[in-house]
Structure 1
């Protein structure tokens, strides 16, 4: 189910203060990147990632592939930074960026 504009606005407000927790470099999507991304999404639910892979088209393709492989949703993308969301009903309240706010 796609996010409504109101939901995106609320998530962007939360994500504004976050720092990127995963960086995808020029070597692309590796198993280590996917493991770390899944762990971060399970723990925090809402995370920022940095994608430094080259031109705009490649960046969009990498983000689309990450979304497909993790089941996350794209909240916002600005430049090399993307804000991803994947709800976890079993997330620990102390770690979750959604439950802390």
Structure 2
């Protein structure tokens, strides 16, 4: 997952307003289309990146792939737009 996300640019930025319902809905829609995405947490965000990650994971039903620096990588399998093939354990 991390190697697949390496080349991606962040689609969303979390700034001074923090995580709100509109952001969660937008990230959820983007996950349905892309399955894997990055979210950037800006310096002026009132929440730390751990809190932001928890709220996005809880609100979207996604899985946290990693947090690196101020970037959060999320994955959620798409129902209609499957792009990534995961190895079976």
Pairwise same-fold verdict (TM > 0.5)? yes
Q: Which moved more, 1:46-55 or 1:59-68?
A: 46-55
**Structure 2 counterparts to residues 13-92 of structure 1, below 5 A:** 13-52=3-42, 53-54=45-46, 58-91=48-81
Bigger fraction of residues in helix: 1
Q: Give the deviation of 1:41 after TM superposition.
A: 0.4
- Could you list the structure 1 runs, at least 4 aligned residues long, displaced by more than 4 angstroms after superposition: none
Normalised by the size of structure 1, how large is the TM-score? Answer: 0.73
Q: Which moved more, 1:32-41 or 1:12-21?
A: 32-41
RMSD value, Cα: 1.7
Aligned partners of 2:18 and 2:49: how far apart in 1? Answer: 10
Unmatched runs of 5 consecutive residues or more in structure 1: 1-10
Q: May I ask how many residue pairs the two structures share in their alignment? A: 83
Aligned partners of 1:31 and 1:89: how far apart in 2? Answer: 22
Q: Give the deviation of 1:21 after TM superposition.
A: 0.6
Aligned partners of 1:45 and 1:29: how far apart in 2? Answer: 20
Is 2:32–2:79's contact at 8 Å kept on the other side of the alignment? no
Aligned partners of 1:32 and 1:60: how far apart in 2? Answer: 19
Unmatched runs of 5 consecutive residues or more in structure 2: none
Normalised by the size of structure 2, how large is the TM-score? Answer: 0.82
